[in-house]
Amino acid sequence: METKKKKVLFLCTHNSARSQIAEGLLRTLYGDRYEAFSAGAEPTTLNPYVVKVMLEIGIDLSGHHSKSINEFRKISFDYVVTVCDKAKDLECPFYYGLKVDDVSFPDPSDFKGSDEDILCKVRDVRDEIKNYIIKTFGEQK
């Protein structure tokens, strides 16, 4: 008998970087157990540096777009994860799920420097989120 996949929503302010990374990683690593979604309180556009660093590890986000949390209000989630302090503190307290997890990762839109400097910092964020995904969802059945 096939078990139903648990639904996970990753929330961030703009749904342009951190929540998109988390969605892509969860789908790729544990898509057999979880349906991953991401959204933002103030959706903008996908960060091009995020697309590049995710492609480096074989995850293509080029077809993704930023989505509003309003698109998901009628879906019942098993887990809701805020990946930035602003989403946790100001914009997303109405979300409900069996588990709400508040974590915070640096915002790639704040990174300054050369393209390579920014890419290095975005890679660090990607890897931090990957470690969180593995630790949080990898051991759950």
Catalytic residue selected from 92, 122, 129, 133? 92
Catalytic residue selected from 8, 9, 12, 81? 12
Element (H, E) at 37: strand 34-40
120 a catalytic residue: no
Q: Shortest CA distance to 23 belongs to which of 78, 84, 71, 64?
A: 64
As a whole number of angstroms, the distance between CA 70 and CA 95 comes to 11
92 a catalytic residue: yes
Instruction: Give strand pairing partners of 33.
Output: none
Catalytic residue selected from 8, 61, 80, 84? 84
Q: Catalytic residues, which ones?
A: 12, 84, 92
